[in-house]
Amino acid sequence: MKKTFELDELDCANCGAKMENAIKKIEGVNDCSVSFLTQKLTLDADDARFDEILKQAVKVCRKIEPDCEIIVK
């Protein structure tokens, strides 16, 4: 499953790159991209565990950029 989420308060491109690399290491993630310019996160992960993987991605992002929030609708 592939979904795109808005990012709120992503302050630097370097932090976005760190978030992308860390999310790609989560088990079940097929691909991930973080765009600083568009403030978007695209996550491609295992369908059966997508919600669990998304929760892990949110935790990873908070560690790297505490003010950044992934907007899940």
Please state the rounded mean pLDDT for residues 13-29.
97
Q: Residue 47 above 90 pLDDT?
A: yes
What pLDDT is attached to residue 73? 76
The residues with which 58 forms a beta bridge, in sequence order, are none
Please state the rounded mean pLDDT for residues 24-32.
98
As a whole number of angstroms, the distance between CA 37 and CA 71 comes to: 16
Report, at the CATH architecture level, how domain 2-71 is classified: 2-Layer Sandwich (3.30)
21: its two tokens: 């690399």
As a whole number of angstroms, the distance between CA 6 and CA 34 comes to: 10
Share of the chain above pLDDT 90, in %: 97
